[in-house]
Amino acid sequence: MVPAGQGKSRIHAALTCLFLEHTDHDVHVVFQHEGLKDADEERNEMLAKFCEKAGKKWSSRVHYQTDLKRKVNSRKKTVLIIDESDERMFRDLHEFHRHTRPENVYTICLTATAYDGGADGLERKAIDKLDFKIYANSDRHEQYNPVINETRDLGTLEAWRTFIVQERQKCGVLVYATGAVYEALKAE
């Protein structure tokens, strides 16, 4: 589990490079919708060019998509890196299992909200049945559920930025802002 805004895009970009460098696997990066896919393709354009020049064959081995279907040789070893995997997983668990568990597919799921945190919750049971291992990047591990700790008016955009940076040092933080501050933060 990776908290919101803590770098899932960077994680899948780094993983893609590692798989290109150390395996002959194709890498399929799966996004929730076209907007996220397009944003990450643009964000990683220079990385793709670098890998291509280094002989890693990014253009033929890396596939950005919004569905779980592998569009190329389905018998080749493949890594599926699924962004916001919980939404797709729990929408149709059977279909998710069908695409992520074949013998030649290795699946990495990235999400900020894998499940409700309870060991006996339905989502946790589904993840266990899929035989997936959960890795968390919080010192509170998977038992940590986001809590609204306080509401305050921080005033300026710079005060919000400072607050977010400080809180991120402790753990993942979700900041809900409205009005002009929200619009300025959204633009970044």
Task: Identify the burial level of 161 via C-beta atoms within 10 angstroms of its C-beta, where 0-12 means exposed, 13-18 middle and 19 or more buried.
Answer: middle
- Measured CA to CA, the distance from residue 115 to residue 88 in angstroms comes to 13
pLDDT range class, residue 61, cuts 50, 70, 90: very high
131-140 confidence digits (pLDDT tens) = 777 766 555 5
What is the set of domains in the chain, with CATH numbers?
Answer: 8-145 (3.40.50.300), 147-188 (no CATH)
Type and span of the H or E element at 180: helix 179-187
pTM of the prediction? 0.66
Q: Is the pLDDT confidence value at 185 over 90?
A: no
Q: Would you state the pLDDT for residue 88?
A: 80
pLDDT range class, residue 63, cuts 50, 70, 90: very high
- Measured CA to CA, the distance from residue 66 to residue 31 in angstroms comes to 5
Q: Would you state the pLDDT for residue 171?
A: 52
